A and B are shown apart, each in its own frame.
Chain A
Amino acid sequence: MWGKGLIEGMRVTWKHFWGKKETVYYPEEKLPMTERFRGGHLVLDEKKCIGCKLCAMGCPNAAIEVTVEVDENKKRHPVKYVHDLGRCLYCDLCIEACPSKCISWDKNYEAASYFKEDMKYDAVAECRGREKQ
Chain B
Amino acid sequence: MAQTEHYILNMGPQHPSTHGVLRVKVELDGERIVHCTPVMGYLHRGIEKLMESRTYTQCVPFTDRLDYVSSMNNNWAFCGAVEKLAGIEVPERAEYIRVICAELNRIASHQVFIGSLLIDLGAATGMIYAFRDREKVLDLFNIICGARMTCHYIRIGGVIKDAQDEFLKETQKFVDYVPQMLQEYDNLFTGNEIFMERLKGTSIITKEDALRFNMSGPNIRASGHEYDIRKIDSYGVYDRFDFQVPTGTKGDNWDRYRIRFEEIRESARIIQQALDSIPAGPYMAKVPKVLKPAKGDVYHRVENTRGELGFYIVSDGTTKPYRVHIHRPSFINLQALDTMCKGLLLADAVAAYATVDPLMGEVDC
Chain A contacts to B: CB under 8 angstroms: 2-6, 8-9, 11-13, 22, 33-39, 58-60, 89-93, 96, 105
Q: Which residues of B contact A60 (CB under 8 A)?
A: 54, 58-59, 61-62
The verdict on B347 contacting chain A, using a C-beta distance below 8 Å, is no
A8 CA to B191 CA, complexed, in Å:
8
Kindly supply a per-residue 1/0 record for chain B positions 36-70, scoring 1 wherever the CB is within 8 Å of any chain A CB and 0 otherwise. Answer: 00000000000000000010011111101000000
The verdict on B150 contacting chain A, using a C-beta distance below 8 Å, is yes
The verdict on B160 contacting chain A, using a C-beta distance below 8 Å, is yes
CB pair B187–A36 under 8 Å, yes or no, is: no
- How extensive is the interface on chain B, given as a class? 20 to 34
Q: Which residues of A contact B192 (CB under 8 A)?
A: 5-6, 9
Identify the closest chain B residue to A59 (Cβ).
B58
- Which of A11, A22, A91 is B152 in contact with, Cβ under 8 Å? A91
A90 CA to B54 CA, complexed, in Å:
16
Considering the complex of A and B, which 4 residue pairs feature the smallest CB-CB distances, nearest first?
Answer: A5-B191, A36-B146, A60-B58, A91-B61
A58 CA to B290 CA, complexed, in Å:
11
- Which of A12, A33, A92, A105 is B188 in contact with, Cβ under 8 Å? A12
B73 vs chain A, min Cβ distance (A) = 17
The verdict on B295 contacting chain A, using a C-beta distance below 8 Å, is no
The verdict on B125 contacting chain A, using a C-beta distance below 8 Å, is yes
Identify the closest chain A residue to B133 (Cβ).
A22
- Which of B57, B150, B193 is A5 in contact with, Cβ under 8 Å? B193
B109 vs chain A, min Cβ distance (A) = 21
- B346-362 CB contacts (< 8 Å) to partner A: none
- B186-225 CB contacts (< 8 Å) to partner A: 187-196
CB pair A90–B150 under 8 Å, yes or no, is: yes
A102 CA to B325 CA, complexed, in Å:
37
Q: Which residues of A contact B54 (CB under 8 A)?
A: 60
User: With A89-B61, A91-B152 given, is the CB distance from A6 to B194 under 8 Å?
Assistant: yes
CB pair B193–A36 under 8 Å, yes or no, is: no
CB pair B161–A9 under 8 Å, yes or no, is: no
CB pair B187–A8 under 8 Å, yes or no, is: yes
The verdict on B184 contacting chain A, using a C-beta distance below 8 Å, is yes
A28 vs chain B, min Cβ distance (A) = 19
A125 CA to B6 CA, complexed, in Å:
64
A38 vs chain B, min Cβ distance (A) = 4
Identify the closest chain B residue to A89 (Cβ).
B61
B196 vs chain A, min Cβ distance (A) = 8
